Amino acid sequence: MARAPSKPPVPVTPAIIDRVEQLLLEGHNLTEISAMPGMPRRSSISYRVDSDPTLSARIARAREIGWDVRAEKAVMDAKAATDPQKGKLAFDADRWLLSKMNSAKYQRAERWATGDQRHRARIEIGKSDQPRGAAQRG
């Protein structure tokens, strides 16, 4: 198989970093950003971010905010979908991606939305203060 032609190198300037940060804040991910015209490769962005702790913190914060934007957009898109099956599929794909990107925040929401049986069992256990069979003895 022939490899796809490589993207020409684009220098990672402060202006490019500012643009990457803005796009992350809007809910885009680095794969989408690096595919945009005039943007550097994902590896170039990552190398630059990893080499600067201050920049790393900025980008991490932009990603967190962007994930929230993406989650809100997923809900709006699902509600506006004209085809319910396509809307559900797109929503599930975004929900899965968000659960992988920020599992601490979105994993719990995924369990609630999917009706995870282990989570449901924990809720049902807490429903009754009486031991099993106590109500029948009375």
- 84-98: burial string, b at 16+ Cβ within 10 Å, e else: eeebeeebeebbebb
Instruction: Summarize pLDDT for 39-85 with one digit per residue, the tens.
Output: 999 999 999 999 999 999 999 999 999 988 988 888 888 888 888 88
What pLDDT shows up at residue 1? 54
32: tokens are: 């989408």
* pLDDT of 40: 94
Q: How confident is the model at residue 99 (pLDDT cuts 50, 70, 90)?
A: confident
Can you give the pLDDT at residue 89? 86
Residue 132 lies in a domain: no
Which range has highest mean pLDDT (22-36, 79-93, 112-126)?
Answer: 22-36
Domain span at residue 46?
Answer: 14-124
Q: Who contacts 102 (Cβ-Cβ below 8 Å, separation ≥6)?
A: 64, 67
The predicted pLDDT at position 26 comes to 95
CATH number at residue 66: 1.10.10.60
* Residue of 8, 39, 9 lying closest to 23 (CA atoms): 39
For the cut 90, the answer to whether the pLDDT of residue 130 exceeds it is no
Which is nearest to 98 in space by CA: 47, 27, 45?
27
Model pTM score: 0.65
> In this structure, which amino acid lies at residue 15?
A
Average of pLDDT values for 76-100? 84
Domains identified in the chain, total number: 1
Residues 2-24: tens digit of each pLDDT: 555 666 788 899 999 999 999 99
DSSP 25-66: HTT--HHHHHHSTTPPPHHHHHHHHHT-HHHHHHHHHHHHHH
Residue with tokens 């630059």: 48
Tokens of 53: 């702790």
The residue among 122 and 69 whose pLDDT is bigger is: 69
